[in-house]
């Protein structure tokens, strides 16, 4: 489908409106002009009738006898009037019969013979009909009765009709011209108004993957366009951040994967060298196997992170007792410290119920315990339970090496290891805490950390406290937040 340009669409809408308004304006003007002409005609007829009326009372019949024609004095006066008019007079004792008293020279003359016994009103109608014969619309007739007299004043509508016709023709000729001029002016105005938008589009086109730092000019002079420009800039900010994160991730991941591959290649070459004994080859193979396991674990962790960050990780949300989860991993923790002088201590759990995914929480705690064991040579690892403002938490404290303040902010970053060589030696890829924090956040919680070098570290997983009154089958009921 071919799409119309915004400028064309706006212009044609405005032009259509302008056409309608111009036609309506011209129509109204013509109608008002015609109505005013008719009004003026009526007033002029009424004024003439007034003058005739006063002349009739001024010039009485000689000796007071009703005559059938106007006395000469009156006739002289009436002759000076420019209107066309007719004065009839009732014939005394003859019913509706009338006699012409005066007929102005320009008035069309025609004998009217009313049927015998016609009423004065019928005779009057016959007279008006005779005057306006040949086109009632051409003449306007005013009738006035004054005693025995009937005064008929007539005026032509011709000049007014001519003026209306002239006005209509002028409107018909000028309308298309006016519309054409209005269309041009509108087109130009719309094009000018759209310039900022066109500029924003052009600016946006210049932003590409090679130059993601570029931003478009957000002060366009038109509020709505400026809002669009600012939104595009914000979108570019987000795209740039994601792009940089992706770049960083690709660089980190390829670096992290290259290291074990280099080790594997070196071990394989060493094993393949001549004169290797069976025992040496077995050692090399078991080192290769360990390296492959670590790499596979790292790839699994990366996939888990990718799925979690894209919200594609299946998470359940149900009430579970934090004490149960800790009891669950106690055995594993004991196994981890079996060859060290480290004790596992579990504080009394109380009735602490969290709302979230039990298995994922177990995974988070396992990551924390693994680290605690990894970085603690002697002393103890303690599990504690906490409640605070609608959240419940489990802390894992150790008496290990501790973390220097400059590393504390970054230990949750992907692939970040405070002591790179030591961490790798223990099989750490720098993903454990990143995964732990992501899994806590996906459940609506977070992880807090406190540490002192040489004293130890405490990591606490906080999760929303369960508020449900019905516990899952086979479990104790959870307490409402705030209860101890
Ligand atoms: P790794 O797999 O290397 O342990 P993590 O993401 O789990 O990666 O931890 C990141 C870094 O944080 C570790 O390399 C280590 O330096 C530091 N760290 C984590 N937990 C502890 C702890 N309990 N004691 C001391 N340092 C820790």
* DSSP per-residue codes, 271-300: HHSTT--HHHHHHHHHHHHHHHHHHHHHHH
pLDDT exceeds cutoff 60 at 481? no
CA 105 to centroid of ligand 1, rounded, Å: 125
Neighbours of 439 (CB within 10 A): 26
Cα dihedral 244, 250, 255, 256, rounded to 10, equals 110
Residue 142 sits at φ, ψ, to 5 deg, of: -115, 130
- Judge if the beta carbon of residue 433 lies within 6 A of ligand 1: yes
Helices within 310-342 (DSSP H only): 322-336
Report d(CA 175, CA 19) in Å as an integer: 8
Predicted confidence band of residue 128 (pLDDT cuts 50, 70, 90):
confident
CB 355 within 8 A of CB 468: yes
What does the pLDDT read at residue 422? 60
Full-prediction pTM beyond 0.75? no
DSSP E strand stretches across 91-159: 98-103, 139-146, 149-156
| Each residue's pLDDT tens digit, 161-204 | 999 999 999 999 998 898 899 899 999 999 999 999 999 999 99
Report d(CA 264, CA 287) in Å as an integer: 8
What does the pLDDT read at residue 146? 86
Strand partners, 344: 381
Strand partners, 465: 354
pLDDT exceeds cutoff 70 at 158? yes
Q: Among 37-41, 69-73, 467-471, which stretch is predicted with the lowest mean pLDDT?
A: 467-471
Alpha-carbon distances, residue 256 vs 260, 421, 433 (angstroms): 7, 13, 16
| Each residue's pLDDT tens digit, 323-382 | 999 999 999 999 999 988 999 999 998 889 999 999 999 999 999 999 999 999 999 999
Predicted confidence band of residue 210 (pLDDT cuts 50, 70, 90):
confident
Strand partners, 298: none
378-388 and 341-346: which strand pairing?
parallel
For residue 221, give the DSSP letter: S
CB 425 within 8 A of CB 367: no
- Judge if the beta carbon of residue 429 lies within 6 A of ligand 1: yes
Report d(CA 56, CA 78) in Å as an integer: 10
- Judge if the beta carbon of residue 375 lies within 6 A of ligand 1: yes
CA 7 to centroid of ligand 1, rounded, Å: 61
Q: Higher model confidence: residue 99 or residue 39?
A: 39
- Judge if the beta carbon of residue 400 lies within 6 A of ligand 1: yes
Q: Which residue has the tokens 């016609």?
A: 118
Taken in order 25, 31, 33, 39, the sign of the CA dihedral is: negative
Predicted confidence band of residue 96 (pLDDT cuts 50, 70, 90):
low
At 287 the three-state DSSP class reads helix
């Amino acid at each position: 489908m071919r799409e119309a340009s915004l400028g064309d669409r706006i212009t044609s809408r405005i032009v259509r409106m302008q056409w309608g308004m111009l036609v309506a304006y011209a129509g109204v003007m013509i109608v008002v002009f015609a109505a005013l002409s008719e009004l003026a005609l009526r007033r002029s007829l009424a004024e003439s009738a007034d003058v005739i009326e006063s002349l009739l009372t001024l010039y009485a019949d000689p000796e007071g006898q009703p005559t059938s024609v106007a006395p000469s004095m009156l006739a002289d006066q009436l002759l000076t009037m420019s209107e066309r008019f007719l004065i009839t007079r009732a014939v005394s004792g003859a019913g509706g019969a009338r006699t012409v008293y005066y007929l102005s020279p320009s008035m069309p003359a025609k004998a009217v013979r009313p049927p015998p016994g016609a009423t004065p009103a019928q005779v009057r109608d016959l007279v008006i009909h005779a005057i306006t014969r040949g086109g009632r619309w051409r003449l306007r007739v005013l009738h006035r009765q004054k005693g025995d007299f009937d005064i008929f004043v007539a005026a032509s509508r011709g000049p007014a009709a001519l003026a209306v016709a002239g006005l209509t023709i002028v409107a018909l000729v000028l309308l298309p011209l006016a519309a054409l001029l209005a269309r041009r002016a509108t087109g130009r105005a719309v094009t000018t108004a759209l310039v900022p938008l066109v500029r924003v589009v052009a600016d946006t086109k210049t932003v590409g993957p090679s130059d993601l730092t570029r931003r478009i000019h957000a002060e366009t002079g038109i509020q709505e366009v400026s809002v669009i420009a600012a939104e595009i800039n914000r979108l570019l900010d987000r795209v740039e951040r994601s792009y940089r994160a992706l770049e960083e991730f690709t660089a980190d991941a390829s670096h992290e994967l290259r290291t074990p591959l280099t080790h594997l290649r070196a071990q394989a070459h060493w094993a393949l060298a001549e004169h290797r004994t069976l025992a040496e080859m077995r050692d090399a193979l078991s080192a290769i196997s360990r390296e492959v396991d670590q790499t596979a674990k790292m790839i699994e962790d990366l996939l888990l992170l990718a799925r979690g960050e894209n919200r594609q990780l299946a998470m359940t949300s149900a009430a579970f007792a934090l004490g149960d989860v800790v009891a669950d991993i106690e055995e594993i923790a004991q196994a981890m410290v079996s060859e060290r002088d480290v004790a596992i201590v579990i504080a009394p759990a109380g009735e602490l119920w969290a709302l979230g995914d039990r298995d994922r929480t177990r995974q988070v705690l396992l990551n924390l315990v693994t680290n605690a064991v990894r970085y603690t040579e002697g002393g103890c690892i303690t599990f504690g339970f906490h409640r605070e403002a609608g959240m419940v938490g489990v802390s894992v404290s150790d008496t290990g090496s501790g973390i220097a303040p400059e590393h504390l902010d970054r230990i949750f970053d992907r692939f970040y290891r405070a002591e790179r060589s030591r961490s790798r030696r223990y099989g750490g890829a720098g993903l454990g805490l990143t995964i732990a924090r992501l899994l806590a956040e996906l459940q609506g919680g977070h992880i807090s950390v406190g540490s002192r070098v040489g004293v130890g570290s405490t990591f606490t997983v906080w999760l929303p406290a369960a508020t449900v009154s019905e516990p899952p089958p086979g479990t104790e009921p959870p307490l409402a937040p705030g209860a101890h």
